Amino acid sequence: MSNLENVYGVHAVESLLRHHPKRVKALVLAEGRSEPRVQVLRELAEEARIPVSTLSRREMDEQLDGVHQGVLAKVSPSQVWGEAMLDELLDRLAEPPLLLVLDGVTDPHNLGACLRTADAAGVHAVIIPKDKSASLNATVRKVACGAAEVVPLVAVTNLARALEKLRQKGLWVVGTAGDAEQSLYQQDMKGPLIVVMGAEGAGMRRLTREHCDFLVHLPMQGSVSSLNVSVATGVCLFEAQRQRLLKG
């Protein structure tokens, strides 16, 4: 099983067992874990005929980095979406698309948190550049609490070119920038939309910024000058969701 990935944490493993059981090749639980939510994992695995074994907590600590919660799934490698699959997804949508672009988010904890927020806000796909971005690893999955298994993550070779193609399909691109004149709350976000978040500190790259139709800032009232990218992502996506719900 050397070619398999480790996915750990109760929420991430449960999401895999519910949505992609064929990818799960083995479930490993820490000895002594028998509470209801772990029992659910055992039942889902047995229903899908996935072998279940146990390890001591010490052995799991030695094998895994991070907070594993005594739950580990051995899974076939994850498939990051390609641009062609994104086109298919957009063609199938019966509602205006809402996409999230993360330009240069390299911290896996931030990527995982953004995926979790994207799922909660009804985002149809998250787009990242293949280079200079965190990849879909065990840390991302753990922080995402299952969202990494249900929100398509699309890696593109050239982000600026991908944005231009999406603009030609009728999507509007709204980028976030601290120096933007317009506030997030002044921006119409009800139609086919791409929200672009830049890396912490550096923000969006120049070419990405040039492919935005609108630039907005988040009004800041306190002494800090910026928010963590996952928090800022949540603010922007839920403003888009609020506007869309009001429209209905």
218 annotated to bind ligand: yes
DSSP letters spanning 66-130: S--TTEEEEEPPP-PBPHHHHHHHHHH-SS--EEEEEES---HHHHHHHHHHHHHTT-SEEEEES
Q: Distances in Å between the alpha carbon of 238 and those of 35, 188, 194?
A: 34, 13, 13
CA 155 to CA 98: how far, in whole Å?
17
70 annotated to bind ligand: no
**Among positive and negative, which fits the CA dihedral 100, 243, 228, 138?**
negative
198 annotated to bind ligand: yes
35: buried, middle or exposed (CB in 10 Å: 19+, 13-18, 0-12)? exposed
> Phi-psi bin for 197: left (phi > 0), alpha (psi -120 to 50), beta?
beta
Give the residue numbers of the binding site for S-adenosyl-L-methionine: 198, 218, 227
Residue stretches of the annotated binding site: 198, 218, 227
